[in-house]
Amino acid sequence: MKPAVKRLIFFTALILFWGLGSHFEFWHETILPSPFSVWDALVAGFADLTLVYDLVASFRRLFIGLAVSLLIGTALGILLARSKTADETIGSMVLALQSVPSIIWLPLAMMWFGLGEGAIIFVVILGGTFVMTLNVRTGIKNVNPLYIKAARTMGSNGIDLFWKVIIPASIPYLVTGARLAWAFAWRALMAGELLSAGPGLGYTLRYASDFGNMALVIGVMIIIGVVGAVVDQLIFQRIEKNVLKRWGLES
Amino acid sequence: MFIEIQHINKIYTDKDNNANTVLDDINLEIPKGQFVSILGPSGCGKSTLLSMIAGLTSASSGGIIVDGKSVQKPGKDRGMVFQEAALFPWMTVTENVVFPLRKEMNKKQAIERARHFLQMVQLSNYAGHYPHELSGGMQQRVSIARSLAMDPAVLLMDEPFGALDEQTRSRLHGQLEKIWIDTQKTIVFVTHSIQESIKLSDRIVVMGTRPGTVIADIDVDIPRPRDEHKQQVAALEERIMGLLKGEIDKVINEELAYEARS
Ligand SMILES: Nc1ncnc2c1ncn2[C@@H]1O[C@H](COP(=O)(O)OP(=O)(O)OP(=O)(O)O)[C@@H](O)[C@H]1O
Ligand SMILES: [Mg+2]
């Protein structure tokens, strides 16, 4: 059986179980609303465009934050890979920063940038930057020395060697870094939105919860999960697989 | 002389500061156009010597001169083929061969030239493929084409066929011999296979180990193709085997002594 078919059957069964449980009132509607209420809440949300505005607002922050974090992450990663002093000083700080959830920066960010966009984007940037930095650094350091030797015997050195051989050779690590940066940034964004002003998916989630609209809460949770899974599997894992294959790292 | 290797010494010091003399006073003169094999047991310093000629490794003392110029760093006058095909996986076969050419000619000329050399190794059909789509033998032929395309004065080859199966190796021997006759390059060919060295070279430099020294310098005057002179080949093979036997015993005895101590 194809994985897609298995998946379809699994999710159908899950929703069926959920629906039947609600129908026979194994649990109360306020604890876990039925799939029909969730569906209605989603339809209503899209019909009056609130969820559309939320999605647009969330994605805008995500794209800005992720783009900046990929840029800074790559630059910082190159610096750490090339300079031993930077690696021994900034490198250890990056490791420490990477080990904490970036949402802990939100209170400080709100002091600096106010309650709006700036603070959330700042947290998203911090969420993605360090994992990208560490992957770029590892990628550059792990370039097969044979490629470098071969390139040098063919008259390449210095900047040419770096851009034409070392960077392309580390692309598998850059792609993995970008995928992880996206995952961290997406989590940071949701956390940030839960704690600040709207619009945005996270904001609507908290707003619905405050008003006891559990159907909308679950609806938004499903949107967040689906977006995360779709971007990861349809975009990043696909690119990663192609790159690994091309780079001869996977048969 | 075209290549002059003068009083080369190479000493590696390990982390306990023990000196390990890998090459001890190597002297060699190689005339232009010669196909010379460097033959010796594993660990005798063949790769080290070759990568010094390439300019990738520096000598502890002594010097190397190629075509009148002292070797200080790698250069396009010395092409190198490694044991593993060092092709860039993110480039197609053609792009790989164009890599050393891209600075000195325009794109069209470079591609034309790449095509010519891919034809020489009979891989024109694979110009647009990526390295991972090629077999090991094909990849190694692309590496050879890539080195030849930059028209080096010397081709340095470090056990280029070591990782290939017997049939492929034998076919590539034929191709390499033909390329050498057609292009008249000077080739320094490192191997630990006695048959391979006899089949291909004008001259065999036999090295001994610990420390690496030249223990014999043999001119091979068997007419080509060598397959047709089996008796002479067998006789020379026997002679070299005798030379190397002492070296191999030496390695084994050292291993035994080391194990006895620890
Ligand atoms: N970078 C290095 N640091 C320390 N020792 C080294 C280094 N490179 C090589 N050696 C030592 O030098 C000796 C010769 O190495 P080399 O690779 O030249 O041998 P080789 O003759 O090419 O052997 P093989 O046939 O196995 O390839 C070995 O004993 C090895 O341990
Ligand atoms: Mg070697």
Distances (CA, A) of B230 to B189, B202, B222, B235, B241: 22, 16, 10, 9, 16
Q: Give contacts of A245 with chain B, Cβ < 8 Å.
A: 132
Q: Give contacts of B88 with chain A, Cβ < 8 Å.
A: 147, 165, 168-169
Which distant-in-sequence residues (6+ apart) come within 8 Å of B191 by Cβ?
B37, B38, B39, B159, B162, B197
Instruction: Name the residue with higher pLDDT: A101 or B252.
Output: A101
Query: Given the DSSP bridges, would you call strands B35-39 and B186-191 parallel, antiparallel or unpaired?
Result: parallel
Q: Give contacts of A155 with chain B, Cβ < 8 Å.
A: 74-76, 100, 103, 150
Mean pLDDT, chain A, integer = 90
Which element (helix H / strand E) includes B10?
strand B3-13
Residue B134 within any structural domain of the chain: no
Residue A7 within any structural domain of the chain: no
**Residue for token digits 């590496």?**
B143
Residue A18 within any structural domain of the chain: no
Q: Is there a contact between B132 and A248 if contact means CB atoms under 8 Å apart?
A: yes
Residue A122 within any structural domain of the chain: yes
B218 conformational bin, left if phi > 0, alpha if psi -120 to 50, beta if neither: beta
Q: Report the candidate in A62, A196, A55, A207 with the shortest Cα–Cα distance to residue A127.
A: A62
Residue A25 within any structural domain of the chain: no
Residue B199 within any structural domain of the chain: yes
Q: Which residues line ligand 1 (CB under 6 A)?
A: B 12, 22, 40, 42-48, 192
Collapsed DSSP state (helix, strand, coil) of residue B140: helix
Q: Provide the H-helix boundaries in chain B.
A: 46-54, 93-98, 107-120, 136-149, 166-183, 194-200, 230-261
Q: Which two tokens stand for residue A198?
A: 């709207």
Nearest CA in chain A to B100: A154
- With the most atoms of ligand 1 within 8 angstroms of its CB, the residue from B15, B47, B56, B188 to mutate is B47
Range of the domain at A58: 35-246
pLDDT of residue B251: 67
Is A159 exposed, middle or buried, given 0-12, 13-18 or 19+ CB atoms closer than 10 A?
A: exposed
Write out chain B's pLDDT in tens, 262 residues.
Answer: 788 888 888 888 888 888 888 888 888 899 988 999 999 888 888 899 999 999 998 888 888 888 888 888 898 889 999 988 899 999 999 999 999 988 888 888 888 888 988 887 888 889 889 998 888 888 988 998 898 888 898 999 998 888 778 887 888 888 888 888 888 889 999 998 888 888 889 899 988 887 888 888 888 888 878 888 888 878 888 888 887 787 777 767 777 777 776 6
- B204 and B218 Cβ atoms separated by less than 8 Å: yes
Q: How far apart are CA B120 and CA B115, in angstroms?
A: 9
pLDDT of residue B2: 85
pLDDT of residue B69: 86
At residue A60, does pLDDT exceed 90?
Answer: yes
First-residue to last-residue Cα distance in chain B = 48
pLDDT of residue A145: 92
pLDDT of residue B180: 87
pLDDT of residue B262: 65
- With the most atoms of ligand 1 within 8 angstroms of its CB, the residue from B11, B12, B14 to mutate is B12
pLDDT of residue A56: 93
Q: In the β-sheet with B3-13, what is the strand arrangement from edge to edge?
A: B19-30, B3-13, B61-66, B69-70
Report, as an integer, the average pLDDT of A208-234.
90
Q: How far apart are CA A53 and CA A185, in angstroms?
A: 20
pLDDT of residue A250: 67
Residue A14 within any structural domain of the chain: no
Q: Report the candidate in A61, A60, A19 with the shortest Cα–Cα distance to residue A36.
A: A19
Q: Which two tokens stand for residue A165?
A: 């051989």
- Contact of B113 with chain A, judged by CB distance below 8 Å, is answered with no
Query: Given the DSSP bridges, would you call strands B154-158 and B203-208 parallel, antiparallel or unpaired?
Result: unpaired
- B172 and B141 Cβ atoms separated by less than 8 Å: yes
- Contact of A241 with chain B, judged by CB distance below 8 Å, is answered with no
Range of the domain at B239: 3-77+152-261
- B236 and B68 Cβ atoms separated by less than 8 Å: no
User: ipTM above 0.90?
Assistant: no
pLDDT of residue B241: 83
Q: Is there a contact between B56 and A153 if contact means CB atoms under 8 Å apart?
A: yes
Report, as an integer, the average pLDDT of A169-185.
93
Q: Is there a contact between B99 and A168 if contact means CB atoms under 8 Å apart?
A: no
Is A32 exposed, middle or buried, given 0-12, 13-18 or 19+ CB atoms closer than 10 A?
A: middle
If you count residue pairs, one on A and one on B, with CB atoms under 8 Å apart, how many are there?
60
Report, as an integer, the average pLDDT of A213-230.
91
Q: Which among A153, A167, A242 is the top mutation candidate for probing chain B, defined by the most B β-carbons within 10 Å of its own β-carbon?
A: A153
> What's the CATH code of the domain at A103?
1.10.3720.10
B69 bridge partner residues: B66
Predicted TM-score (pTM) of this structure: 0.82
Tell me how many domains chain B contains.
1
- With the most atoms of ligand 1 within 8 angstroms of its CB, the residue from B11, B48, B215 to mutate is B48
Q: Report the candidate in B149, B129, B151 with the shortest Cα–Cα distance to residue B139.
A: B129
Q: Which two tokens stand for residue A210?
A: 């405050």
Cis peptide, bond prior to residue A145, ω within 30 of zero = no
Residue A151 within any structural domain of the chain: yes
Residue B103 within any structural domain of the chain: no
Residue A185 within any structural domain of the chain: yes
Report, as an integer, the average pLDDT of A11-19.
92
Q: How far apart are CA B35 and CA A64, in angstroms?
A: 61
pLDDT of residue B80: 93
- A205 and A221 Cβ atoms separated by less than 8 Å: yes
Residue B191 within any structural domain of the chain: yes
Is the Cα dihedral B52, B55, B57, B59 positive or negative?
Answer: positive
Query: Mean pLDDT lowest for which of A15-29, A129-143, B24-38, B158-172?
Result: B158-172
Enumerate residues 59 to 88 of chain B having a beta carbon within 8 A of any beta carbon in chain A: 73-76, 78-80, 82, 84, 86, 88
> What's the CATH code of the domain at B21?
3.40.50.300
- Contact of A3 with chain B, judged by CB distance below 8 Å, is answered with no
Report, as an integer, the average pLDDT of A28-33.
85
Q: Is there a contact between A247 and B90 if contact means CB atoms under 8 Å apart?
A: yes
- A96 and A155 Cβ atoms separated by less than 8 Å: no
Tell me how many domains chain A contains.
1
Per-residue buried b or exposed e for B56-79, using 16+ beta carbons within 10 Å of the residue's own CB: beebeebebebeeeebeebbbbbb
pLDDT of residue A31: 83
Residue B241 within any structural domain of the chain: yes
Q: Which two tokens stand for residue A59?
A: 């994605």
Ligand 1 atom, smallest distance to B40 CA:
21
Q: B12 alpha carbon to ligand 1 midpoint, in Å?
A: 9
Residue A11 within any structural domain of the chain: no
